[in-house]
Chain A
């Protein structure tokens, strides 16, 4: 996993705006990141910081209107996903990129069997016939740790527990052996013990299948145990990015520091966690002209009000490769 390897996914300058009745909402503002083969990139940030919208923009999953992906390139396998037709993009979704969503209770269709829902992408993308798809679906269910897989294909989602349903979602996402798996808070809706089981499963599947993973969470504790690299998002921007050890050892952005202080103990109350930093992420009605975190930042000074900080490497390597941060305070004061 050398940093020099060609990334499987390379996102540059992504901008997504929602056109609502109350005006525009700039949800993603010039987000750039890449994903190396086999790597697990953790994306953290409070709820509302633009994590989901970023990932759904990549792959054309946002309904338009109201969403408008305005700028950027998303390179996957040598092609720019943002320039693709809707039809071509459908060939990528579910085949090259798999998605797992937050709420397993509502993400599966209640009126179709689990088998049917796993077989759909197999038939659609892999050109399997029904019989072959069925065999493969049973293999996938077994792979994600569901006992008696062949028989469970005929079950409906409501006959599974939340954790089991999330395993089914993972089976669907991995059905066509994707290069990239995007998991959007896949354990947030589950109890702590089930959460741990799903984490173990993903670690295990990563070893076996070797796909690259984007793991979205607002829980830095989860990231510590699973990610290779971490990207911290706030106000629709990447505010800090570093290898996981580096980030935990040497956090730069005041927001990252605040997040690290809020990691719960193992038994931790999940609700109270992020309220430790006063205030909420902003809803931006225009392209940001100032630091989005300034209102909640203990270190904000004059420059933060007039200029949105750019990401800057702090270890002499290129932005995105080593450790970089978007903060005037770290640039001028902390490292002065």
Chain B
């Protein structure tokens, strides 16, 4: 398993380099130019100067190599410096946003907590709701509980999150006034009152995303349980006189979780990317909103860096899913 993991990690390097190149090229060829962000009142020679200072005039491959160096060398050094108070990266040029002129990674670190608290907790809550629902639905297939679960799950993943989001805002903010419709990023949790406020403003976006996640994962859980409930080893467990609880929650569940855990692990990167729309609807100032604004502003370094980070996460969680699979299923031998 260890050699497998190491081999896969090494194989990920060329993959990621290739992805980074593709992202760089695609983003660069996209229409829109950083110049469009400079007001027309600025004289042409000054404009040129600005562009040069941004490095936007350099040939593509120079910018690509510089970005590679900054992403894989400078930024890790900066991170190391902040963590351990050293100053190895002193004087090195970091990846800088064309829009805000501040380092891209600093902005990302600022936005990360919003995304993690809203989208991340929605994912966790979604999983925690989905597993028991999936298990029970399968065990009592075609019962009213199962039918209701199927119906809600169908709504959950067929109605888009921007629609459920807007409906929730209309009902609970506009009409009932229970929750705020705009997420206040500047809110700091210092006491009970501000904590309640934070919970209140998280409630609706979390509910929308949790419903969506729970809908999908509960379906996976249900069908995996159904597959396994029909297996011969279940009859063996019953023939041994094991209690239903043991048959279902030990024998069947342990087998059913193998594919579901993989699906859950593969879904984690979408926490960062997939919530773009919900962040827009609820005005959550997270990574999704950051990416959208950067695209609008032709902020190439920001778009390239964010997209590449998503790519790294996807590759990483693919590897994690494979390793988990190997750990959960004794029949899998990677070495």
Contact = CB atoms under 8 A, between A and B. Distances in A.
B240 A94 contact: yes
Given A109-B251, A112-B254, A156-B330, A120 B235 contact: no
Interface string A66-110: 000000000000000000000000111111001101010011111
Interface in A94-147: 94-95, 98-99, 101, 103, 106-112, 117, 120-121, 124-125
Contacts of B240: 93-94, 120-121, 124, 172
Q: How large is the interface on B (under 10, 10 to 19, 20 to 34, 35 or more residues)?
A: 20 to 34
Interface SS, B side = helix
Given A112-B254, A156-B330, A158-B330, A107 B233 contact: yes
A306 interface: no
Given A110-B255, A110-B331, A111-B254, A121 B241 contact: yes
B232 interface: yes
Contact of A92 (B231, B241, B251): B241
Interface string B222-235: 00000000011101
A214 interface: no
Contacts of A158: 330-331
* Most chain A beta carbons < 10 A, residue from B232, B240, B243, B330: B240
B236 interface: yes
B241 A106 contact: no
A173 B233 CA distance: 13
A169 B239 CA distance: 11
B236 A107 contact: yes
B329 interface: yes
A318 interface: no
Given A107-B232, A111-B330, A95 B241 contact: yes
Nearest to A98: B239
A135 to B, nearest CB: 19
A71 B127 CA distance: 45
A108 B234 CA distance: 9
Contacts of B239: 59, 61, 93-94, 98-99, 101, 173
B30 to A, nearest CB: 48
B236 A93 contact: no
A111 B255 CA distance: 7
B231 A106 contact: yes
Nearest to B328: A111
A91 B243 CA distance: 9
Given A112-B254, A156-B330, A90 B243 contact: yes
B319 to A, nearest CB: 22
A107 to B, nearest CB: 5
A101 B330 contact: no
Q: How large is the interface on A (under 10, 10 to 19, 20 to 34, 35 or more residues)?
A: 20 to 34
A169 B236 contact: yes
A108 B241 contact: no
Nearest to A156: B330
Contacts of B330: 110-111, 156, 158
Contact of A156 (B242, B254, B331): B331
A137 to B, nearest CB: 13
B238 A108 contact: no
B185 to A, nearest CB: 45
A173 B246 CA distance: 18
B237 interface: yes
Interface in A158-180: 158, 169, 172-173
A54 B62 CA distance: 79
8 closest cross-chain pairs (CB), A and B: A94-B241, A94-B240, A99-B239, A93-B241, A106-B232, A109-B233, A121-B240, A156-B330
28 contacts: A61-B238, A61-B239, A93-B240, A94-B239, A94-B240, A95-B241, A99-B236, A99-B239, A103-B232, A106-B231, A106-B233, A107-B232, A107-B233, A109-B237, A109-B251, A110-B233, A111-B254, A111-B255, A111-B328, A111-B329, A112-B254, A120-B240, A121-B241, A124-B240, A124-B242, A156-B331, A172-B236, A172-B240
Given A93-B239, A106-B233, A108-B233, 20 more contacts: A61-B239, A92-B241, A93-B238, A93-B241, A94-B242, A101-B235, A106-B231, A107-B233, A109-B236, A109-B251, A111-B258, A111-B329, A112-B254, A121-B240, A124-B241, A125-B241, A156-B331, A158-B330, A172-B236, A173-B239
